[in-house]
């Protein structure tokens, strides 16, 4: 019994530490960019994405072969789709990546593949904690991803993440996000992955507040 309590305490402390770090980084970046240090903070985006990925791995309880397969599928699938988008204008429209997402593989920052994996796992964890029905989980998770993207797209060109031709985000970008997200969430649910919802809620809300804030900061 004491051993179980000890393990549970370690798990709780680990999650709380991760949540603290997530909010610290996002709120600090919001403040830093707001007072004029945009170039410094935004250039550290790859560090932030690396940290988020590590914290996700650290706090996801179901570290199995299936979990590894899921991450690989979301990363490689995201990279392939983005490569086709950048080079052939498929799915998302005509766009190209800037410099602040780090090193690129054939024009696509490999951190964008990590971002696809992180967002899929986080939103799937959230939706799985709300619904028992598989279809409902898939559609809610996909909807959460598209809702975040609505705000993310507004800050992306300002932060030199990526930019669409003529500065206009086409409708098919959001439609593609929704369709791809449904596919990724179907894979997640089919792998029957579970857990990580507490960390995922904080990560999603922190990112939503971050990009919604800058949507208002730069557009209102």
Predicted local distance difference test score (pLDDT) of residue 5: 43
Predicted local distance difference test score (pLDDT) of residue 112: 96
Predicted local distance difference test score (pLDDT) of residue 196: 86
3-state SS, one letter per residue, for 151-208:
HHHHHCCCCCCEEEHHHCCCHHHHHHHHHHHHHHHHHHHHCCCCCCHHHHHHHHHHHH
Q: Rounded to whole angstroms, how far apart are CA atoms 98 and 120?
A: 23
Q: Rounded to whole angstroms, how far apart are CA atoms 185 and 196?
A: 15
Q: Rounded to whole angstroms, how far apart are CA atoms 125 and 76?
A: 20
Q: Which of 148, 150, 207, 211 is nearest to 23 (CA)?
A: 207
Q: Rounded to whole angstroms, how far apart are CA atoms 28 and 42?
A: 12
Q: 3-class SS at 97?
A: strand
Length of the chain: 220
Helices vs. strands in the chain: H and E counts, helices first: 8, 4
DSSP-assigned states of every residue in 125-153: HHHHHH-SSHHHHHHHHHHHHHHHHHHHH
Burial class (CB in 10 A: 0-12, 13-18, 19+), 33: buried
Predicted local distance difference test score (pLDDT) of residue 213: 95
pTM: predicted TM-score of the whole model, two decimal places: 0.90
Measured in whole angstroms, how far is the alpha carbon of residue 208 from the centre of its chain? 10
Predicted local distance difference test score (pLDDT) of residue 62: 73
pLDDT tens digits, the chain, 220 residues: what are they? 544 444 455 556 889 999 999 999 999 999 999 999 999 999 999 999 999 999 999 888 777 899 999 999 999 999 999 999 999 999 999 999 999 999 999 999 999 999 999 999 999 999 999 999 999 999 999 999 999 999 999 999 999 999 999 889 999 999 999 999 999 999 999 999 988 899 999 999 999 999 999 988 877 6
- Structure-block tokens of residue 15: 């999650």
Q: Rounded to whole angstroms, how far apart are CA atoms 21 and 55?
A: 9
Predicted local distance difference test score (pLDDT) of residue 56: 92
Predicted local distance difference test score (pLDDT) of residue 179: 97
Distances (CA, A) of 193 to 116, 134, 180, 186, 202: 16, 12, 19, 11, 19
């Amino acid at each position: 019994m004491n051993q179980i309590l000890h393990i549970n305490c370690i798990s709780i402390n680990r999650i709380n530490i991760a949540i603290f770090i997530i909010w610290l980084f996002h709120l600090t970046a919001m403040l830093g960019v707001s007072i004029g240090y945009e170039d410094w903070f935004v250039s550290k985006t790859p560090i932030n994405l690396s940290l988020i990925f590590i914290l996700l791995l650290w706090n996801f309880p179901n570290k199995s072969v299936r979990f590894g397969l899921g991450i690989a599928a979301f990363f490689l699938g995201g990279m392939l789709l983005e490569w086709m988008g950048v080079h052939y204008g498929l799915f998302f429209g005509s766009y190209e990546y800037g410099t602040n997402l780090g090193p690129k593989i054939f024009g696509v920052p490999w951190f964008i593949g990590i971002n696809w994996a992180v967002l899929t796992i986080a939103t799937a964890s959230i939706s799985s904690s709300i619904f028992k029905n598989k279809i409902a989980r898939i559609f809610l998770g996909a909807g959460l991803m598209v809702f975040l993207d609505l705000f993310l797209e507004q800050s992306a060109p300002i932060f030199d993440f990526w930019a669409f031709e003529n500065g206009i985000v086409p409708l098919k970008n959001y439609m593609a996000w929704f369709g791809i997200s449904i596919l990724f969430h179907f894979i997640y649910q089919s792998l029957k992955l579970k857990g990580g919802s507490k960390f995922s809620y904080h990560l999603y809300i922190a990112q939503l507040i971050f990009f919604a804030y800058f949507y208002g900061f730069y557009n209102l």
